Amino acid sequence: MDLILVNLIDGLVTGLLLFMLSAGLTLIFSMMGVLNFAHASFYMLGAYFAYQISIALGFWMGLLIAPLIVGVLGAGVERYGLRRVHQYGHVPELIFTFGLALLIEEMVQFVWGKNQMPYSVPEILNFSAFAISGNSIPAYKIFMIFISISIFIGLLYVLTKTRVGMIIQAALSYPRTVEALGHNVPLIFMGVFGVGTALAGVAGVIAGPVLGTFPGMAFVLGSIVFVTIVIGGLGSLWGALFASLLIGWITTFAKAYNVKMESILNAIGFTTPENMDESMLRDLWSLTSPQIADILPYILMVLILIFRPAGLFGKRTQ
């Protein structure tokens, strides 16, 4: 029971982190119809910038400044890159962001090298907040939950209570109409892209110390973020939240409990074959849940796309 609580907290941290990325990605997709392949790259940039800033000015300035730089970079990418490619259609846009993701990874290696950066949790948060039957919960995790939830509340406030938020919400459902109403849609696009990437930057700043700041970090998280918003339903913010938490918990629990495929298969009524070496399915029998934890989201996504192509909360199919 206590272990379940610990895993619930761990899964929540992962889920909220995913949500910070998937929220921005969803906003960008809903407004512009572009799946930003480079979204996780901005998350990585957030971590690296914060690391660089934290050397000179400390962690807190990093948390403040790095997302801003990332957001400005993101807005620049939209203004000078995406907007140009937009005229060729959606497929080139997707290819553009894909190329951008590759290039950002190379650039990061160019500047910081291939090794992991010694970017670590600030001293002030480096203690154990409380313990649940011997499993201590680091204060930093509580801090991450706190930051993510406040960002979520902030986002909710902006989207539902402010004028800009109204326009964005309207644009989510009726992009053409909003344009026809005379709003400066290109500016809104640039803004949303900037804010979305800045959110990814924040996620990078706070995730860098725990998940590691290395050139592959974008790749590790990037495709999972995609999976998240596809499962949640492209364009649905609530879907993104639900799917993020779902994936956070599924992967955490799959890793924490070593469930063997053998026991599952035995439970359904299959008997373990005598001579395992002869069987082509020997790998299936020896599977364990931690082994497949990382691919569970993909399996989930493929299943969802087959049986409910619009995603859990999605309305649009394209």
Partner 1 sequence: MNDQITTDPSKPAQRMRAGSLTLTLAPWIISAVFLAILPQIFTNNSTLTIMNQMSITIVFALAYNMLLGQGGMLSFGHAVYAGVGGFAAMHIMNMSDFFASIPLVVLPVFAGLFGMGLAMIVGSFSTRGAGTVFAMISLGVGELIAACSVIIVAFFGGEGGVSGDRTYAQPFFGVEFLQQIEVYYLTAAWVIISAALMYLWSRTPVGRMANAVRDNPERAEFLGYSARWVRFYSFVASGFFAGVSGGLFAINYEILTEENLNTASSGVILLVTFLGGVGYFFGPIIGAIVFTLLQTVLSLSTELWAIYAGSLFLATVMFFPGGFAGLIMMHVAPFKLGKLRLLIMPYIKTLIPAAIGILGLAALVEMTFHVRHAAAGDNEMTLFWTTFDSHSLIAWAIAGAVTLIGLGIARVTAPSLKEAWDEANTAGGAS
Shortest Cβ 174–partner 1 spacing (Å):
19
Shortest Cβ 223–partner 1 spacing (Å):
6
Q: Which stretch binds partner 1 (CB under 8 A): 88-96, 146-154, 176-184, 187-195?
A: 88-96
What is the SS3 assignment for 214? coil
63 binds partner 1 (CB under 8 A): no
Q: For 211, list phi and psi in degrees, rounded to 5.
A: -90, -10
Shortest Cβ 285–partner 1 spacing (Å):
11
DSSP-assigned letters across all residues of 35-60: --TTHHHHHHHHHHHHHHHHHHH-HH
264 binds partner 1 (CB under 8 A): no
266-305 residues in contact with partner 1 (CB under 8 A) are 280-284, 287, 291-292, 294-295, 298-299, 301-302, 305
Shortest Cβ 129–partner 1 spacing (Å):
34
* Neighbour count for residue 216 (Cβ, 10 Å): 15
Nearer of residues 209 and 255 to partner 1, judged by Cβ: 255
Among 69, 107, 139, 145, binds partner 1 (CB under 8 A): 107
Among 35, 40, 200, 247, binds partner 1 (CB under 8 A): 35
3 binds partner 1 (CB under 8 A): no
- Residue 125 CA from chain centroid, whole number: 23
Residue 153: closest CA among 142, 143, 145: 145
Q: Give the whole-angstrom CA distance, residue 36 versus residue 57.
A: 31
Among 57, 58, 113, 177, binds partner 1 (CB under 8 A): 113
Q: Give the whole-angstrom CA distance, residue 201 versus residue 27.
A: 15
What are residue 132's DSSP bridge partners? 135
Helix ranges (DSSP H) in the chain: 2-32, 39-57, 59-77, 83-86, 90-112, 139-161, 163-173, 175-180, 185-211, 217-232, 237-256, 261-268, 282-285, 289-292, 296-307
96 binds partner 1 (CB under 8 A): yes
Residues that bind partner 1 (CB under 8 A): 33, 35, 81, 84-85, 88, 90-92, 94-96, 98-100, 102-103, 106-107, 110-111, 113, 219, 223, 226-227, 230, 234, 280-284, 287, 291-292, 294-295, 298-299, 301-302, 305-306, 309, 317-318
